[in-house]
Amino acid sequence: MGIQRIYVVAGELSGDLLGAGLIRELKARHPGVEFRGIGGPRMIAEGMDSRFPLETLSVMGLVEVLKHLPRLLRVRRALRRDALAWRPDIMIGIDAPDFNLGLERQLRDAGVTTAHYVSPSVWAWRQGRVKGIARAVDAMLTFLPFEAAFYVHHRVPVAYVGHPLADEMPLVNDRVAARQALGLPAEGRLLAILPGSRASEVRFLGATFLDAAERLCNERAELNLVIPAATPQRREELAALLDERDRLRGRVTLIDGGSREAMVASDLVLLTSGTAALEAMLCHRAMLVAYRMASMSHFLARHLVKTEWISLPNLIARDRLVPELIQDAANAETIADTLAGLLDDDEARTALEARFAAMHEALQRGASRRASDAVEALVAGRPLPASVVPARLEAPHGEGGPS
């Protein structure tokens, strides 16, 4: 009879991209399957019925979540009622673990099969959460082998599927063609600036990133900037910040979306930590990761996080390939100085681009196909396909993951 109804809840733009790929694959296998929950423009374009706007769950930082907690709990109750009335074959939470794992547990307790797509960073902090995850999901679908190793060690059913972005993005790209497509100068250095897709990220780092860019532009006449705005709201906020900086006039191209094209066109990328760092790696571009949050959120994170790095390229490589500037270190002067050093070292950037290309190739596993294999197995009550769960995985730091 096939799968008829799937409830999917994504929390932000990166989840919308992942969800769209999964929906396409499942639609090809099960014509007529329906999707409902929370999704963004890509998931909606694939035919999903989104009950709330995508940004409903986009809250950054530990303290900020507390401010929005009553609203988020109301949304979760509404989704629980909606899902139980709709009676899906499976519910899939995409990222947004603090929200989705609670919803998944409620639905699983009510008899709905559940899966979580994109592992939370449980191997990095609050490792005790794995017990709650085991109660919330019938399977965890992970992007990276060291994540799967953690769940194997803790006896949580897991499917290592690879990363959909690695499948989607080409192993060979053309910097010159990308500049031409965006109407950017063919000659000279180009810095791509990605201050984040959330309002809070632009608030914490937007002005700092532009101040750092001003410092660089004052010293480098050949340097130009490209800034992709993730949403129309982010474009308005960034345009307002640029209006305050006369010295950047004529040096900045502000574009709608197109973050990947901007990164491919660039010589170097400045960005906040998150999926954008992975995308920059898959564009094979050197980068600087900077991140800042509310003081209390940083205080709590500093005492809870158990991993040496925060950016995905470094975590995947288990090495410091990408410089990371966190909290007070993420100031305009330090950012500008670090970027200047990267721009001046052509040999290091070329070597890093080759390293990223090799990492990209290793992550290409047909993730949406493998995730769909796992979803079908869960709905049918079969074991996860043997080809999805590696027979032997090595954790990065001992048996249980980073410590």
Same domain for 144 and 228, yes or no, is no
Q: Quick one: pLDDT at residue 300?
A: 54
Counting the structural domains of the chain, the total is 2
CB atoms within 10 A of CB 7: 26
CB atoms within 10 A of CB 383: 11
- Rounded mean pLDDT of 212-236? 94
Same domain for 177 and 216, yes or no, is yes
Q: Quick one: pLDDT at residue 197?
A: 80
- Rounded mean pLDDT of 372-395? 73
CA 45, CA 228: separation in Å to the nearest integer? 22
Same domain for 372 and 342, yes or no, is no
Q: Are strands 190-194 and 158-160 parallel, antiparallel or unpaired?
A: unpaired
Q: Quick one: pLDDT at residue 166?
A: 92
- pLDDT tens digits along 164-187: 889 989 999 999 999 999 999 999
Q: Quick one: pLDDT at residue 307?
A: 67
Q: Quick one: pLDDT at residue 306?
A: 60
- pLDDT tens digits along 124-137: 666 778 999 999 99
C-alpha closest to that of 52 among 28, 81, 24: 81
CA 297, CA 310: separation in Å to the nearest integer? 15
- Rounded mean pLDDT of 131-158? 92
- pLDDT tens digits along 274-308: 789 999 999 999 999 998 866 665 555 565 566 67
Contacts of 314 (CB under 8 A, 6+ apart): 308, 320, 321, 322, 324
- pLDDT tens digits along 9-45: 998 888 898 899 999 999 999 999 999 999 999 999 9
**Confidence bin at 316 (pLDDT 50/70/90):** confident
Q: Is residue 294 part of a domain?
A: yes
Intra-chain end-to-end CA distance of the chain, in Å: 45
Q: Is residue 401 part of a domain?
A: no
Same domain for 149 and 290, yes or no, is no
Q: Is 328 helix (H, G, I), strand (E, B) or coil?
A: helix
Same domain for 57 and 95, yes or no, is yes
Q: Quick one: pLDDT at residue 308?
A: 73
**Confidence bin at 402 (pLDDT 50/70/90):** very low
Q: Quick one: pLDDT at residue 11?
A: 83
> What does DSSP assign to residue 183?
T
Same domain for 176 and 310, yes or no, is yes
CA 264, CA 170: separation in Å to the nearest integer? 11
Same domain for 109 and 13, yes or no, is yes
Beta strand spans in 275-401 (E): 287-291, 324-326
Instruction: Indicate the angle between helix axes 199-219 and 332-344, nearest 10 degrees.
Output: 60
Q: Is residue 35 part of a domain?
A: yes
Same domain for 51 and 200, yes or no, is no
Are 273 and 310 in contact by the 8 Å Cβ rule? The answer is yes
Long-range contacts at 163-166 (CB < 8 A, ≥ 24 apart):
163/278, 163/363, 163/365, 163/367, 164/17, 164/18, 164/21, 164/22, 164/367, 164/368, 164/371, 165/17, 165/275, 165/278, 165/279, 165/282, 166/282, 166/360, 166/363, 166/364, 166/365, 166/367
Q: Is residue 357 part of a domain?
A: yes
- Rounded mean pLDDT of 248-253? 93
Q: Quick one: pLDDT at residue 117?
A: 96
Q: Which has the higher per-residue pLDDT, 146 or 347?
A: 347
pTM of the predicted model over 0.75? no
Q: Is residue 385 part of a domain?
A: no
Q: Is residue 392 part of a domain?
A: no
Q: Quick one: pLDDT at residue 315?
A: 84
Main-chain dihedrals φ then ψ at residue 324, nearest 5 degrees: -125, 125
CA 382-383-387 angle, 5° bins = 120
Same domain for 177 and 36, yes or no, is no
Q: Mind giving me the DSSP string for 224-275?
A: EEEEEESSHHHHHHHHHHHHT-GGGTTTEEEEES-HHHHHHH-SEEEE-SSH
Same domain for 71 and 218, yes or no, is no
CA 332, CA 337: separation in Å to the nearest integer? 9
Q: Is residue 391 part of a domain?
A: no
pLDDT at 403 over 60: no
- pLDDT tens digits along 52-102: 998 887 655 455 556 767 888 999 999 999 999 999 999 999 988 889 999
Q: Which has the higher per-residue pLDDT, 104 or 363?
A: 104
Same domain for 219 and 111, yes or no, is no
Q: Is 286 helix (H, G, I), strand (E, B) or coil?
A: coil
Are 254 and 301 in contact by the 8 Å Cβ rule? The answer is no
The CATH number of the domain holding residue 255 is 3.40.50.2000
Q: Quick one: pLDDT at residue 98?
A: 86
Same domain for 184 and 123, yes or no, is no
Q: Quick one: pLDDT at residue 273?
A: 77
Q: Are strands 114-117 and 252-256 parallel, antiparallel or unpaired?
A: unpaired
Q: Is residue 397 part of a domain?
A: no
What's the chain's average pLDDT? 88
Contacts of 202 (CB under 8 A, 6+ apart): 195, 196, 234, 237, 238, 241
Q: Please give the residue range of the domain that contains residue 182.
A: 170-362
Q: Which helix (H) or strand (E) holds 160?
A: strand 158-160
